[in-house]
Amino acid sequence: MTSTLTISHLTKSYDGVQVLTDVTLDVAAGQRVALLGHNGAGKSTLMKIILGLIPASGGTVTVCGGRPGSAQARAQVAYLPENAAFHPALTGQEQLAYYLRLRGRPATEALPLLSRVGLADAAQRRISTYSKGMRQRVGLAQALIGHPRLLVLDEPTSGLDPVSRRDFYDLLDGLAAEGAAILLSSHALTEVEARTDRLLILSGGKLVAQGALADLRREAALPVALHVTPHNGYVSDIIAALPGAIRVGEALHLTCTQDEKLAVLSRIAALQGKVADLDVTPPSLEDIYSHYSRRDGQ
Amino acid sequence: MNARILATAASEFRISRRNRWVAIAVALMVVFSLVLAAAGSAPTGALGADRLSVTVASLTSLSVYLVPLVALLMSFDAIAGEIERGTLPLVLTYPAARWEILAGKLVAHLGVLILALVAGYGAAALMAFATDPDAASGLPALWRLTWSSALLGATFLGIGYAVSALARRPSGAAGLAVAVWLGLVVLYDLGLLAAVVADDGGSFTTDIFPVALLVNPADAFRLFNLSAAEATAAAAGIGGAAGAIPVWQSLLSVVLWPLLALALASLAFRRVEP
């Protein structure tokens, strides 16, 4: 598969402060990639470099076969900024018509695009009357103009209600299926988990992890939590059988590594009759995320 | 003109209309022009010039102040405002070069200004025609005033864009714009006047003073219109110097300044990192 976005050994510093250090990644056509990181981890800076808004200090970036910000790249890249803002004096339709004309497309496509993001009814109203979620959807509509090959979306679902979020990811799935590469940043880990192909974790300007969630989970080797509820009177029997178990009220807590998991489960299964219930909790995306972003001394 | 410049111009013009800039600029020019046309009617007979030429001389003095002011008011927000609203990064990722965006804004703002000029000068001219049947002989002067006013406006629009890009914040840009207006339009002349008085006909008055008038876009505009007009005598103040400087020199300054100001604006805009 050809890469739509290729970044190798990218560095960026502002006034001697290193913001991005040796970042290497690529996004292929049809891939949905999530960029995770704390505030100030360098996500927005990375996106602005990809878009050609600010120059890199070192390394190479290739966007759709061209230099970031070149006419060739800009013709094929769409951007949704964090907290998308528009001129308050224009209506949604007028604002979108302007963006369409900048991309050399007829202004008549504005209404269908607004309908696609559920704003057809508000199209004739000035953007100053829009809610944050509606402005975000105008931002999304402009990012859909003319089948972009790469979409760079900075916190695209912030301000959207749960239903709009699902619609948004459905839209992304459609775009990816048509071959668009998608790079999006988000703080909403659970939705990213379900709706993207690959995760990139930035921490302190370094790319500390990248891969599919299952790979990251395996690599992190975080403990699995088990929650055992004994039948009345069997608590001490179970503590004896499961060294390391901690009593919390009437229940028992236990953690083990991924590799030990099956062995521990079979030991619990052997206590049949004494155990009323068992819950197994794998490490959450939050745990995995904290694991990687903390590794570099954060 | 390419489609991206036109798209930007159309959008900016709509914004100017919504923000009442079109109405404000037109009203300002019409009211002041009519007041001047009415006030300037008294000395007509004694000068032997037609009514319209006298009106044009008065309008020249008005436009030296008003056109730069309106141009700066319309332009100081052009880039700083987009930075503050957060709309600049997105538009810069579109396939439009920065100069194209700037050119689009210029076309729209200059359009508003020309509309105001035509309305204001037109109203004053109608008044002249209503009272003097010979007013037609002043038409060439009126035409000259109109296009040179547009060029003066373009100059100060360019300066306003440059100020806007350099300041990056609308409040800072507004302050700078006022300073530019005061400096170039008001204080510059006062300074020159003081220097001429102190010099008392020395080398400053003969060598430096004419050059100093030519390098200031507002003074060059006044000089060009007064020296080209037949009603020079009707004008007070710096008009006296107009006779000493050839018309082509002030014309050159009037034509070159918009290019210089817009190049400056383009350079300043290019340095903005959103």
Q: With an 8 Å Cβ cutoff, is A71 touching chain B? A: yes
Q: Which among A83, A101, A142 has the least Cβ separation from residue B86?
A: A83
Of the two residues B200 and B33, the one the predictor is more confident about is B33
**So what's the pLDDT on residue A105?**
94
Token digits of residue A97: 């018509």
B positions 82-101 inside 8 Å of A (CB): 85-87, 89-97
Residue type, A109: E
Lowest mean pLDDT among A48-62, A91-105, A271-285, B90-104: A271-285
Determine the distance in angstroms separating the CA of B101 from the nearest CA of chain A, rounded to an integer. 10
Q: In chain B, what residues touch A90 (CB-CB under 8 Å)?
A: 11, 14-15, 18
| Residue pLDDT, tens place only, A222-240 | 888 888 888 888 888 888 8
* Nearest residue of chain A to residue B82 (CA atoms): A87
ipTM for the complex shown: 0.88
Kindly state the average pLDDT of the residues A88-117.
Answer: 95
φ, ψ dihedrals at B4, nearest 5°: -70, -40
Contact A81 B86 (CB under 8 A): yes
For residue A279, the cross-strand partners are A227
Please answer whether residues B227 and B254 qualify as being in contact, where contact means their C-beta atoms are separated by less than 8 angstroms.
no
**So what's the pLDDT on residue B241?**
56
B80-B82-B86 Cα angle (round to 5): 120
Q: Which among A53, A74, A104 has the least Cβ separation from residue B89?
A: A53
* pLDDT for residue B234 is more than 50: no
Q: In chain B, what residues touch A79 (CB-CB under 8 Å)?
A: 89-90, 93
Please answer whether residues B183 and B139 qualify as being in contact, where contact means their C-beta atoms are separated by less than 8 angstroms.
no
Please answer whether residues A22 and A51 qualify as being in contact, where contact means their C-beta atoms are separated by less than 8 angstroms.
no
Within 10 Å of residue B212's Cβ, how many Cβ atoms?
17
* pLDDT for residue B67 is more than 90: yes
Range among A105-114, A245-254, B44-53, B190-199 rated most confident: A105-114
Lowest mean pLDDT among A53-57, A225-229, B45-49, B80-84: B45-49
Kindly state the average pLDDT of the residues B154-183.
Answer: 96
Token digits of residue B92: 């810069």
Lowest mean pLDDT among A86-100, A240-254, B35-49, B181-195: B35-49
Query: Which CATH architecture group holds A3-218?
Result: 3-Layer(aba) Sandwich (3.40)
Confidence of residue B240 (pLDDT cuts 50, 70, 90): low
Q: Which among A53, A71, A139 has the least Cβ separation from residue B95?
A: A71
Q: In chain A, what residues touch B274 (CB-CB under 8 Å)?
A: 48, 53-54
Q: In chain B, what residues touch A86 (CB-CB under 8 Å)?
A: 87
**So what's the pLDDT on residue B41?**
61
Q: Which among A71, A89, A102 has the least Cβ separation from residue B7?
A: A102
Q: Output the CATH code of domain A223-282.
A: 3.30.70.120
Distance, in Å, from the CA atom of B221 to the CA atom of B64, rounded to the nearest integer, reads 7
| Residue pLDDT, tens place only, A187-214 | 777 778 778 899 999 988 899 988 888 8
Kindly state the average pLDDT of the residues A161-184.
Answer: 91
Q: With an 8 Å Cβ cutoff, is B271 touching chain A? A: no
Distance, in Å, from the CA atom of B242 to the CA atom of A253, rounded to the nearest integer, reads 96
* pLDDT for residue B232 is more than 70: no
Q: Is the alpha carbon torsion for A29, A166, A283, A272 positive or negative?
A: negative
B168-B169-B175 Cα angle (round to 5): 110
* Cα atoms found within 13 Å of the Cα of residue A236, Cβ hemisphere only: 1
* Cα atoms found within 13 Å of the Cα of residue A226, Cβ hemisphere only: 26
Contact B14 A90 (CB under 8 A): yes
Range among A218-227, A243-252, B177-186 rated most confident: B177-186
φ, ψ dihedrals at A86, nearest 5°: -140, 170
Start and end residues for every CATH 3.40.50.300 domain found in chain A: 3-218
Contact A77 B93 (CB under 8 A): yes
- The residues, ordered by sequence, that sit 6+ positions from B102 with a Cβ below 8 Å of its Cβ are B161, B262, B265, B266, B269
Q: With an 8 Å Cβ cutoff, is A77 touching chain B? A: yes
Start and end residues for every CATH 3.30.70.120 domain found in chain A: 223-282
Size of interface A-B (CB pairs under 8 A): 72
Confidence of residue A296 (pLDDT cuts 50, 70, 90): low
Of the two residues B237 and B9, the one the predictor is more confident about is B9
